[in-house]
Homo-oligomer: A and B are copies of this chain.
Amino acid sequence: MAKLVTLGEILIQFNAMSPGPLRHVNYFEKHVAGSEANYCVAFVRQGNECGIISRVGNDEFGYNAIEWLRGKGVDVSKVRIDDSAPTGIFFVQRHYPVPYKSDSVYYRKGSAGSRLSPEDVDEKYVKGADLVHSSGITIAISDTAKEAVYKAFDLAKSRSFDTNIRLKLWSPDKARHEIMKLLNQFHLNFLITDTDDSKIVLGESDPDKAARVLQNYADIVVMKMGSKGAILYYEGKKYYSHGYTVPVEDVVGAGDALGGTFLSLYFRGFTLERALDYGVVAGTLNVMIRGDQENLPSIEDIQRFLREFS
């Protein structure tokens, strides 16, 4: 059983009960979310251990996050209750104005999660992990959060990073600058990204061309392609795992489901190719519901999907 440690903000998600512009949505459904929390739950769901280094507010939403993740088997001993700021939240607008896409409206500025800082990074805890994971979101939310990632990556046995660029958090220029800086400083074991992000970071949206560059910075590159699946690049090889067409409720979190499942199964001893195939199934199931963590499948579920879905 491998152990992952992630760093990032745990958010409470308020997902629109009906599609369309939020002004006309009357009801919202609450979920626990946040990219690194999603990765953690996927990691545990596949039979490994995972802890998250994070902060939440001393409020109902913060306790909500902790209880949920603990229930899911995530180690929450490093989630700090921060009395001075509220738990970050966001709203999800679905299928509008672009069908099959979701928009996020954040209320996370100055949140407890954005106050994540190097002091939260317990040296022993991080060194004990087989893999340390974070994302572009964490280095975007605040300078202290970014520094926490740098500290953890410094201490890490191996590193995984999901570019996860959110243009509501920083400009394309800032995103490119910060991500390249991180890539230049740390060699990654895993780099998970997509063509939108590689266009911003490298000015290159062709997956093969982008991957060629990114492989200079990471041993294994995963290029997510939405409903088209994903591509894996490593040791000069390329493996394409096709996607599936299913009814889409909300795509938020699908990439994390793919990434977390892929990593976890790799650490369970799966080949990279098979781990990716399974990750794509996890991402596929994820888009069928509201919420990011409720549809994460077990290995048996994925196998049944592969056997019966056509």
Q: Which residues of A come within 8 Å of B, CB atoms? A: 14, 17-30, 59-61, 63-64, 67-73, 86, 89, 93, 95-101, 105, 107, 109-110, 244, 246-249, 284-285, 288-291, 294-295, 297, 301-302, 304-305, 308-309
Contact = CB atoms under 8 A, between A and B. Distances in A.
Given A99-B288, A309-B99, A20 B294 contact: yes
Contact of A291 (B14, B24, B70, B248): B24
Contacts of A105: 59-61, 86
Contacts of A244: 99
Contact of A93 (B14, B29, B60, B95): B60
B96 A295 contact: yes
A10 to B, nearest CB: 13
Given A23-B63, A107-B107, A246 B99 contact: yes
Given A89-B107, A105-B59, A304-B98, A21 B295 contact: yes
B24 A27 contact: no
Contacts of A109: 110
Which of A18, A71, A109, A297 has the most chain B CB within a 10 Å cutoff?
A71
A61 B22 contact: yes
Contacts of A100: 309
Contacts of A68: 71
A89 B72 CA distance: 22
Nearest to A294: B24
A295 B289 CA distance: 21
Nearest to A85: B109
A301 B98 CA distance: 8
Contact of A30 (B28, B98, B101): B28
B61 A23 contact: yes
Contacts of A73: 67, 70
Which of A21, A244, A289, A301 has the most chain B CB within a 10 Å cutoff?
A21
Contacts of A297: 96-97
Given A29-B27, A30-B25, A70-B71, A20 B98 contact: no
